[in-house]
Amino acid sequence: MIIGVGIDVAEIDRFAASIERTPGMLRRLFVDDELLLPSGERRGDASLAARFAAKEALAKALGAPGGLLWTDAEVYVEETGQPRLRVCGTVAARAAELGVKNWHVSLSHDAGVASAVVIAEG
Protein backbone atom coordinates (compact mmCIF):
# COMPACT_ATOMS: atom_id res chain seq x y z
CA MET A 1 0.00 0.00 0.00
CA ILE A 2 1.32 3.46 -0.90
CA ILE A 3 1.43 5.71 2.16
CA GLY A 4 2.84 8.80 0.47
CA VAL A 5 4.40 10.16 -2.69
CA GLY A 6 6.68 13.17 -2.95
CA ILE A 7 8.31 14.92 -5.87
CA ASP A 8 10.73 17.84 -5.94
CA VAL A 9 12.96 19.71 -8.36
CA ALA A 10 16.03 21.85 -7.69
CA GLU A 11 17.65 24.25 -10.13
CA ILE A 12 21.29 23.13 -10.10
CA ASP A 13 22.87 26.59 -10.56
CA ARG A 14 20.67 28.06 -7.82
CA PHE A 15 21.56 25.19 -5.49
CA ALA A 16 25.28 25.64 -6.26
CA ALA A 17 25.04 29.38 -5.57
CA SER A 18 23.36 28.67 -2.23
CA ILE A 19 26.12 26.33 -1.07
CA GLU A 20 28.76 28.77 -2.29
CA ARG A 21 27.16 31.58 -0.26
CA THR A 22 26.62 29.35 2.78
CA PRO A 23 29.19 26.51 2.78
CA GLY A 24 28.02 25.28 6.21
CA MET A 25 24.73 24.36 4.57
CA LEU A 26 26.34 21.20 3.18
CA ARG A 27 26.87 19.79 6.69
CA ARG A 28 23.28 20.62 7.65
CA LEU A 29 21.90 18.85 4.58
CA PHE A 30 24.14 15.83 3.99
CA VAL A 31 26.05 13.08 5.78
CA ASP A 32 29.67 12.45 4.77
CA ASP A 33 28.88 9.53 2.47
CA GLU A 34 26.50 11.75 0.48
CA LEU A 35 29.00 14.58 0.20
CA LEU A 36 32.06 12.60 -0.81
CA LEU A 37 32.87 10.28 -3.66
CA PRO A 38 34.88 7.13 -2.85
CA SER A 39 37.97 9.07 -4.04
CA GLY A 40 37.40 11.61 -1.25
CA GLU A 41 36.43 14.43 -3.62
CA ARG A 42 33.18 16.33 -3.08
CA ARG A 43 30.30 15.21 -5.26
CA GLY A 44 29.29 17.50 -8.09
CA ASP A 45 26.56 20.10 -7.76
CA ALA A 46 24.09 18.17 -9.94
CA SER A 47 24.44 15.04 -7.80
CA LEU A 48 24.03 16.99 -4.57
CA ALA A 49 21.05 18.92 -5.94
CA ALA A 50 19.37 15.61 -6.85
CA ARG A 51 20.00 14.29 -3.34
CA PHE A 52 18.55 17.49 -1.87
CA ALA A 53 15.48 17.11 -4.10
CA ALA A 54 15.12 13.54 -2.82
CA LYS A 55 15.14 14.74 0.79
CA GLU A 56 12.48 17.34 -0.04
CA ALA A 57 10.43 14.67 -1.83
CA LEU A 58 10.86 12.36 1.17
CA ALA A 59 9.50 15.03 3.52
CA LYS A 60 6.49 15.50 1.22
CA ALA A 61 5.87 11.74 1.14
CA LEU A 62 5.76 11.85 4.95
CA GLY A 63 3.23 14.70 4.96
CA ALA A 64 5.83 17.46 5.35
CA PRO A 65 5.83 17.52 9.16
CA GLY A 66 8.04 19.98 11.01
CA GLY A 67 11.06 18.82 12.96
CA LEU A 68 12.65 16.46 10.45
CA LEU A 69 16.45 16.65 10.30
CA TRP A 70 17.98 16.59 6.83
CA THR A 71 20.82 14.37 8.02
CA ASP A 72 18.33 11.75 9.29
CA ALA A 73 17.81 10.71 5.67
CA GLU A 74 20.67 9.50 3.49
CA VAL A 75 20.53 8.96 -0.26
CA TYR A 76 22.96 6.29 -1.41
CA VAL A 77 23.44 4.27 -4.57
CA GLU A 78 23.70 0.49 -4.64
CA GLU A 79 26.37 -1.25 -6.71
CA THR A 80 23.67 -1.81 -9.34
CA GLY A 81 23.31 1.96 -9.68
CA GLN A 82 19.88 2.03 -8.06
CA PRO A 83 19.37 4.93 -5.62
CA ARG A 84 18.10 4.08 -2.14
CA LEU A 85 17.15 5.84 1.08
CA ARG A 86 18.45 5.10 4.55
CA VAL A 87 16.54 6.78 7.39
CA CYS A 88 17.13 7.19 11.11
CA GLY A 89 16.15 9.49 13.97
CA THR A 90 13.35 11.98 13.24
CA VAL A 91 12.66 10.63 9.75
CA ALA A 92 12.52 7.00 10.90
CA ALA A 93 10.20 7.96 13.76
CA ARG A 94 7.74 9.72 11.41
CA ALA A 95 7.93 6.81 8.94
CA ALA A 96 7.16 4.35 11.75
CA GLU A 97 4.14 6.46 12.83
CA LEU A 98 2.77 6.16 9.32
CA GLY A 99 3.67 2.49 8.89
CA VAL A 100 6.29 2.94 6.16
CA LYS A 101 8.16 -0.30 5.48
CA ASN A 102 9.86 0.39 2.14
CA TRP A 103 11.12 3.36 0.15
CA HIS A 104 11.36 3.83 -3.59
CA VAL A 105 13.41 6.70 -4.97
CA SER A 106 14.26 7.95 -8.43
CA LEU A 107 16.81 10.70 -9.16
CA SER A 108 17.52 12.61 -12.34
CA HIS A 109 19.30 15.73 -13.55
CA ASP A 110 19.19 17.28 -16.99
CA ALA A 111 18.95 20.73 -18.59
CA GLY A 112 20.05 22.46 -15.38
CA VAL A 113 17.41 20.85 -13.15
CA ALA A 114 17.70 18.02 -10.64
CA SER A 115 14.58 16.06 -9.75
CA ALA A 116 13.53 13.27 -7.43
CA VAL A 117 10.48 11.16 -6.70
CA VAL A 118 10.02 9.27 -3.44
CA ILE A 119 7.33 6.69 -2.70
CA ALA A 120 6.71 5.56 0.88
CA GLU A 121 5.24 2.06 0.96
CA GLY A 122 3.59 0.29 3.89
The model's confidence at residue 23, banded by pLDDT at 50, 70 and 90, is: confident
The model carries a pTM of 0.93
pLDDT surpassing 90 at residue 40: no
**Domain residue spans of the chain:** 2-121
Quick one: average pLDDT of 31-44?
90
Query: What are the CB-based long-range contacts (under 8 Å, 24+) for 33-39?
Result: 33/74, 33/76, 34/74, 34/75, 34/76
The answer to whether the Cα torsion of 12, 17, 18, 24 is positive or negative is: positive
Domain 2-121, second-level architecture: Alpha-Beta Complex (3.90)
Q: Encode pLDDT of 54-87 as tens digits.
A: 999 999 999 988 889 999 999 999 999 899 999 9
Mean pLDDT of the chain: 95
Smallest Cα–Cα separation from 11: which of 61, 43, 56? 56
- Predicted confidence at residue 71, as pLDDT, reads 95
**Distance (Å, whole) CA 23 – CA 92:** 27
Q: What is the pLDDT of residue 20?
A: 94
